[in-house]
Amino acid sequence: MTFNNSDPVSVMFAGIEMDGIYINRSGEHAIVKLSSGYNICVPESFCSPKEKTAPAEKPVVSPLKQDASLPLLSIISTGGTIASTVDYRTGAVSSKFTAEDILRSIPELAGIARYHTLQPFQVLSENMNPAMWQELARTIHDEILKGAQGIIVTHGTDTMLYSAAAVSFMLNTPVPIVFVGAQRSADRPSSDNAMNAICSAKAAVSDLGEVVVCMHATESDTTCALHRATRVRKNHTSRRDAFQSIGREPVGGIGYPDGTVVLANDAVLRGTEELRLSDNLASNCGLIQYYPGMNPAVIDAFKGYKGLVIAGTGLGHVGTDCIKSITGLTTSGTTVVMTSQCQAGSVCDRVYETGRDLLDAGVIEGGSMLPEVALVKLMWVLGNATRKEDIKRLMQTNLKGELAYDLWRYA
Amino acid sequence: MTFNNSDPVSVMFAGIEMDGIYINRSGEHAIVKLSSGYNICVPESFCSPKEKTAPAEKPVVSPLKQDASLPLLSIISTGGTIASTVDYRTGAVSSKFTAEDILRSIPELAGIARYHTLQPFQVLSENMNPAMWQELARTIHDEILKGAQGIIVTHGTDTMLYSAAAVSFMLNTPVPIVFVGAQRSADRPSSDNAMNAICSAKAAVSDLGEVVVCMHATESDTTCALHRATRVRKNHTSRRDAFQSIGREPVGGIGYPDGTVVLANDAVLRGTEELRLSDNLASNCGLIQYYPGMNPAVIDAFKGYKGLVIAGTGLGHVGTDCIKSITGLTTSGTTVVMTSQCQAGSVCDRVYETGRDLLDAGVIEGGSMLPEVALVKLMWVLGNATRKEDIKRLMQTNLKGELAYDLWRYA
C-alpha cells in the first residue's frame, strides 16, 4: 500500500485506532499527523487508507480591532514555532503565520495594547545569522523611533538566545524588547504560544527597559519568566519551561492569566537607557568546545578569523598541546576568549599552571560569560573596537549583564 | 620592590592586613597564597616584605594500618585537585599526592576497607586523553581480576565525566567503579576532598555494580551524590556541588558522616555484569557546537576524521548551508552523530524540514545523549564496529544508561 502526502489514514498503534493525515516517509516509517495534533512515526504497515473528507474550512476571522487609548507595541515576526500553523493541505507545521495572524488568533492581545506588525523576514531559527541580527536591531530601532512603547519579537526557540543577546549588545533601549517563542506549535493541545504571547505583551507594556526572553517559567500555565537576554539558555529540547536563567534569577515574571508583573531589584527600568543603535558586527568569529584528545589542528583551522571563543574545561583550561596553536592564533591577530563548558561559575586562569600558560598565550578571560553570549559579544566588540587593549577591556566590562558575578576574583 | 617566589609577604587589602607567601606575578598583579589557604591576586604595591621564618615542618605521618577483615578496594590516583597538596616551598597547589598519601591524610578511610594503591599516571585532568582512558580501563580491569571488590579513581574534576564515560563503555564491571574528585584543594578550609574520598569508599564497598561519579550533592557537608557516569555534567566551575545528573536522578547517595547508602531503583547492582574489557577506541573523532553564522568550512575541517559529533540547536538542527558539508563528510566515510546543545531532552530530526534534510545527509540521531558522552561513545563504537548499520545500531542502543529516555518518539 502506497500513500501520498495529505491522504487521510487510520493508524493502529498499541491496540488503539487513531485518525490522521499521511505526511511522508522517513526510511521505513510513515509520518502521520494525528487528529490530536501530534505527529507519529510508525511502520507504514500500521496505516490503512480512509475516505477523503472535504478539507476543514479555515476558521472565520474577525477584523482586527485596535483600542487607540492603549500603548503602542510593535510585533516583529521572524518565524519559528510561535508563528506556526497547520498547513491544511499537508497536515505539516509551517511557520508562515504573520504577526497579524498572531494578533487575530489570540484575541486577548487586543485588550493589552494596540499593535504595529512587521515581518522583516521569516526563517527557521537555525537559519538566523549575524546579518539578520543586524536587520532585526535596525528594525527595532526604527520602531522605537517611530513611537513604539515596547517591542515583541516572535522568534524560533532554537537560536533565540543568540539573537536576543545580539540585539542587547547592538541597541541601548529605553523600552522593553521582549523575545518570545513557543516550544509546541499552535495545532497541539499543549501549545504554549498563546500564553507566552499574552505574557510578552504584558512585559512589553511594563516598567522594564531591557532585552528579555519571555517563556513558560514552569510546566504549568501560571507564570512566564522574563530572562535577561545575556544570561539565558534553552536547557531542554522540548519542555515548555526549557528556557532558564543561568547564574542569576530571572529579571521578572508575569502571572497568568491575571497579568501581574514582578520585576527583580536589578531589572533595568523603562527610560534608564537612551535609544542608541551601534550595529557593527565582525561576524567572522567562531566557537569551539575543548575535549580530551582534541587535535590542535582544530584550533589552527580558525586562522584568519577575527575572533574565537573557546569553551574550555573547568576554570578555563585546554590540553597543554593546544596552547601552541592558540599562541599561533593570537600572534596572527585573532582575538581568543576563554569561557567554560561548565554551565555556571566563572573562568579564572590564574590558579593552575595551564591557565597561566593560556594568559601568556594572549587569551582573554571571559569571566562568567556563557560561551555563546561571549561569541555574540566578541562579534560586537570586534565590530566596534580595533586596539587590543580596548577589545580586552570591553570583553571584560559588564556591558549588558552578561557577567553575572563580580569580576574581582579570589583564586 | 621586587619579590621572589616563596618570599613571605604582608598584604594590605580592604583595610585588612593578611600574611601570605608570594607566588609570582601575573601582568601587573602579584599572586599571593594567604595563610588561610586562599590565593589572592592584588596590585603588587599592596604587598610588603616580611621576615622569613623557618619553613613549616611536614606533619609526622603514622604508618599505614590495614584491617584484613575488611573488603579490598583499589585506589587509582590519576592526579587532580583531590590529590593536591600545598608545595611547602612555593605555596602553590601541586597535584603530586599519591594514593597512599590520600590514605594517610584521611584516617577514616582505614575503617571502611583495606586498600591497594596505584598511580598509573599523574596529570592535570585537562591533559587526559583517549590513550590514558584506555590505560585506566586496563588498570581497573587488572585490579578487579586480582580481587578488588571495588575501585576508587581519584581524578581532576575538569574532564572526569569524559573519563568516567569512557571507562563505562570499555568495561563491563561486576563491582562499583567510583570516580571521585575535589573542587577545592586540601589546603583550603572549604576543601571537599576528605568527605568526597570517604563517601567514595562507602560507595565502593556498596551493592552498586556500575561506573559512577561521587561528589558533594549540595553545598553542605551532609550527602554525596552518585551520578551515573554517562549522565553527569560539571555544571559549575567552582562550587563543591558542581556535578549534577542530567535528565535523570542520581543513581545513589551517601550520607555523611554516617555513611548510609541509598541506591535508585534502576541502579545496576554488584554482580549484574560479568567482567569484560573491550578497550579499542577510534580516538580520531571530534565535537563541534553549531552557532548562527557558522562557516561550513568549520565542518569541512573534520574531513578524514572517523567520527564527528555535532551539538546542534534544539531538536538537533544546523543552518541549512551547513548540510552540504555534512553530506561531504558522511559520503567520505565520517560517521556524523547529531546531539543537542540543549542540556536535556532528546534529538528528533523527524519534525522539521531541516532535521529531515540532516537524516537524508546520513546523520545519526543521538537521542538524549550528552554531546561529550556521544563523542566518547562514538570513539568506542568506531573502535569496535565497522559496518555502517552496526555503528548506527550501537549508537542508538542504550549500552550504559547514556540514553536517558525511551527511544520511541512522538514528533
Are A88 and A6 spatial neighbours (Cβ–Cβ below 8 Å)? no
Q: Do A286 and B298 touch (CB under 8 A)?
A: yes
Does the annotation mark B146 as catalytic? Answer: no
Q: The pTM is what? A: 0.86
Grid coordinates belonging to A44? 507504514
Determine, for residues A292 and B40 on separate chains, whether the beta-carbon distance falls below 8 Å: no
Which one has a higher pLDDT value, B190 or A55?
Answer: B190
Give pLDDT tens digits for A160-205.
999 999 999 999 999 999 999 999 877 777 889 899 999 999 999 9
Q: Which of B223, B244, B277 is the last residue of a domain?
A: B277
Comparison of pLDDT for A63 and B396, the residue scoring more? B396
Domain count for chain A: 3
Residue B292: closest C-alpha in chain A: A129
Indicate the residue among A277, A302, A325 that finishes a domain.
A277
Quick check: A23 pLDDT over 50? yes
Question: How near does any CA of chain B get to the CA of A276, in Å?
Answer: 24
* Residue B82 located in a structural domain: yes
Predicted confidence at residue A90, as pLDDT, reads: 46
**Dihedrals φ, ψ of B336, to 5°?**
-115, 125
Q: Are residues B186 and B257 in the same domain?
A: yes
- Statement to judge: residues A14 and A149 lie in one domain: no
Distance from CA of A292 to the nearest CA of B (A): 5
Which three cell numbers mark A161? 538566545
Would the CB atoms of A344 and B93 count as touching at under 8 Å? no
Inter-helix orientation angle A371-384/A388-395, to 10°:
140
pLDDT at A81 over 80: no
Q: How far apart are CA B119 and CA B136, in angstroms?
A: 10
| pLDDT of B19 higher than 70 | yes
Q: Which of B31, B158, B352 sits opposite A313 (nearest CB)?
A: B158
Is A63 part of any domain? no
pLDDT value for A405: 58
Average pLDDT over every residue of B335-350 = 93
**Interface contact A124, partner B, CB < 8 A:** yes
Whether B159 and B289 share a structural domain: no
Supply the pLDDT for residue A83: 65
The string of DSSP letters for B345-407 reads S---TTSSHHHHHHHHTTPEE-TT--HHHHHHHHHHHHHH--SHHHHHHHHTS-SSS---S-S
Closest residue on chain A to B374 (Cα):
A291
End position of a domain, from candidates A249, A277, A305? A277
Mark yes or no for CB contact B298/A301 under 8 Å: yes
Q: How far, in Å, CA of B278 to CA of B292, rounded?
A: 39
Between CA B50 and CA B173 the distance in angstroms is: 55
Q: What is the CA radius of gyration of chain B?
A: 24
Is residue B222 classed as helix, strand or coil in its secondary structure? coil
A170 near A38, Cβ under 8 Å? no
Using alpha carbons, select from B162, B173, B203 the residue that is nearest to residue B402: B162
- Could you identify the residue written with the cell 499593535? A115
B344 in Cβ contact with A235 (< 8 Å): yes
Contacts of A271 by beta carbon, 8 Å cutoff, 6+ apart: A174, A209
Q: If you count residue pairs, one on A and one on B, with CB atoms under 8 Å apart, how many are there?
A: 209
Count CB neighbours of A103 within 10 A.
21
> Per-residue pLDDT tens for A336-355?
999 999 999 999 887 778 88
Rounded Cα distance between A2 and B329, Å, is 33
pLDDT tens digit sequence for B82-111: 666 544 444 445 555 677 777 888 889 999
B238 and B323 in a single domain? The answer is no
Residues 12-31 of A with CB under 8 A from B: 26-27, 31
Determine contact: A87 vs chain B, CB below 8 A: no
Q: Which residue of B has its CA nearest to A283?
A: B293
One-letter amino acid for residue B322 of the chain: C
User: CB A314 to CB B126 under 8 A?
Assistant: yes
More confident residue, A401 or A98: A401
In what order do the strands lie in the sheet containing B47-49? B39-43, B29-34, B16-26, B8-13, B47-49
Q: Do B163 and A301 touch (CB under 8 A)?
A: no
Range of the domain at B41: 7-49
**Quick check: A135 contacting B, CB < 8 Å?**
no
Asked if B297's CB is within 8 angstroms of A286's CB, the reply is: no
CA angle A104, A108, A109 (to 5 degrees): 70
A386 is catalytic: no
C-alpha cell at A98: 504573520
Residues B273 and B289 grouped into a single domain? no
Decide if A121 touches B, using CB distance below 8 A: no
The answer on A95 and A183 residing in a single domain is yes
C-alpha–C-alpha distance, residues B196 and B213, integer Å = 10
E strand or H helix that includes residue B116: strand B114-118
Strand, coil or helix: B332? coil
Q: Residue B22's closest CA among B2, B5, B34? A: B5
List the single best residue of B240, B313, B349 to mutate versus A (max A Cβ within 10 A).
B313
B81 is annotated as an active-site residue: yes
- Å from B83 to nearest chain A CA? 14
Does residue B379 share a domain with residue B319? yes
Residue B344 CA to residue A386 CA, distance in Å, equals: 39
Beta-sheet pairing, B150-154 with B72-77? parallel
Q: What is the CATH number of the domain that holds B136?
A: 3.40.50.1170
Q: Are residues B391 and B343 in the same domain?
A: yes
**Are B222 and B334 found together in one domain?**
no
> Per residue, what are the HEC states of chain A?
CCCCCCCEEEEEECCEEEEEEEEEEECCEEEEEECCCCEEEEEHHHEEECCCCCCCCCCCCCCCCCCCCCCEEEEEECCCHHHCEECCCCCCEECCCCHHHHHHHCHHHHHCCEEEEECCCCCCHHHCCHHHHHHHHHHHHHHHHCCCCCEEEECCCCCHHHHHHHHHHHEECCCCEEEECCCCCCCCCCCCHHHHHHHHHHHHCCCECCEEEEEECCCCCCEEEEEECCCEEECECCCCCCEEECCCCCCEEEECCCCCEEECCCCCECCCCCCEECCCCCCCEEEEECCCCCCCHHHHCCCCCCEEEEEEECCCECCHHHHHHHHHHHHCCCEEEEEECCCECCCCCCCCHHHHHHHHCCCEECCCCCHHHHHHHHHHHHHHCCCHHHHHHHHCCCCCCCCCCCCCCEC
Do residues A271 and A134 both lie within one domain? yes
Q: Tell me which residue has cell 567520527.
A: B307
Q: How far apart are CA A16 and CA A356, in angstroms?
A: 63
| B236 shares its domain with B309 | no
Tens-place pLDDT, residues B246-301: 999 999 999 999 999 999 999 999 999 999 999 999 999 999 999 999 999 999 99
pLDDT band (50, 70, 90) for residue A89: very low
* CA distance linking residue B394 with residue B383, whole number of Å: 12
Query: For B235, which of A293, A301, A342 is closest by C-beta distance?
Result: A342
Instruction: Note whether B313 contacts A125, CB cutoff 8 Å.
Output: yes
Task: Kindly list the residues from chain A whose CB atom is less than 8 angstroms away from the CB atom of residue B316.
Answer: 237
The partner residue sitting opposite B315, judged by closest CB among A31, A237, A313, is A237
Q: Check residue B348 and give its pLDDT.
A: 86
Q: Kindly state the cell numbers that stand for A107.
A: 484575541
Query: Which of B177, B175, B183 minimizes the C-alpha distance to B157?
Result: B183
Q: ipTM of this predicted complex?
A: 0.86
Environment class of residue B62 by beta-carbon count within 10 Å: exposed (0-12), middle (13-18) or buried (19+)? exposed
| Alpha-carbon torsion, ordered B381, B383, B386, B390, to 10 deg | -20
> What does the mean pLDDT of chain B come to?
89
Mind listing the pLDDT tens digit for each residue in A216-273?
999 999 999 999 999 999 999 999 999 999 999 999 999 999 999 999 999 999 999 9
Average pLDDT over residues B341-364: 89
Contact flag B237-A346 (C-beta cutoff 8 Å)? yes
B340–A contact, CB cutoff 8 A: yes
Q: Is residue B61 part of a domain?
A: no
Residue type, B297: A
Q: What whole-number distance in Å separates Cα of residue A281 and Cα of residue A128?
A: 15
Q: Does A160 touch chain B (CB under 8 A)?
A: no
C-alpha to C-alpha distances, B101 to B75, B104, B180, nearest whole angstrom: 11, 5, 16
CA distance B124 to chain A (A): 9
User: Which residue type sits at A223?
Assistant: T
Among B126, B297, B346, whose Cβ lies nearest the Cβ of A318?
Answer: B126
Residues B107 and B200 in one domain: yes
**Does the CB of A410 have a partner CB in chain B at under 8 Å?**
yes
Q: Is residue B129 part of a domain?
A: yes
Nearest-by-CA chain A residue for B162? A292
Q: Which residue of A lies nearest to B355 if distances are taken between CA atoms?
A: A126
Specify whether the CB–CB gap between B189 and B36 falls below 8 A. Answer: yes
Q: Which helix (H) or strand (E) holds B145?
A: helix B130-145
Query: pLDDT tens digits for A370-408?
Result: 999 999 999 999 999 999 999 999 999 999 999 975 433
Share of chain B above pLDDT 90, in %: 68
pLDDT (mean) for B333-357: 90
B410 touches chain A (CB under 8 A): yes
Cβ-nearest to B346 among A163, A237, A298: A237
Query: Taking the CB of residue B208, how many other CB atoms lie within 10 A of it?
Result: 25
- Catalytic position from the list B33, B202, B234, B400: B234
Please give the grid coordinates belonging to residue B342.
540543549
Classify residue B408: in a domain, yes or no.
no
Whether the CB of A116 is below 8 Å from some CB of chain B: the reply is no
Q: What CATH number is attached to the domain comprising B341?
A: 3.40.50.40
Does A42 contact chain B (CB < 8 Å)?
no
> What DSSP assignment string belongs to B277-321?
E-------EEEEE--TT--THHHHTTTT-SEEEEEEBTTTB--GG
Give me the residue from B291, B344, B345 closest to A372, CB to CB: B291
Tell me whether residues B353 and A124 touch, CB distance under 8 A: yes
Residue A98 domain-assigned (yes or no): yes
Q: Kindly report the backbone phi and psi dihedral angles of residue B195, in degrees, each rounded to the nearest multiple of 5, phi listed first.
A: -60, -45
The answer to whether the CB atoms of B239 and A345 lie below 8 A apart is: yes
Q: Does residue A111 form part of some domain?
A: yes
| A314–B158 C-beta distance less than 8 A | yes
Is B191 among the domain residues? yes
Average of per-residue pLDDT across B357-384:
96
Please tell me which of the candidates B38, B162, B291 has its beta carbon nearest to residue A291. Answer: B162
pLDDT digits (tens, 9 = 90+) for B104-161: 888 899 999 999 999 998 888 999 999 999 999 999 999 999 999 999 999 999 999 9
Does A159 participate in catalysis according to the annotation? no
Query: Cβ contact (<8 Å) for B342 and A26?
Result: no
Q: What is the mean pLDDT of chain A?
A: 89
**Best-predicted range by mean pLDDT among A42-56, A60-74, A234-248?**
A234-248
Instruction: Inform me whether the C-beta atom of residue A342 falls under 8 Å from chain B C-beta atoms.
Output: yes
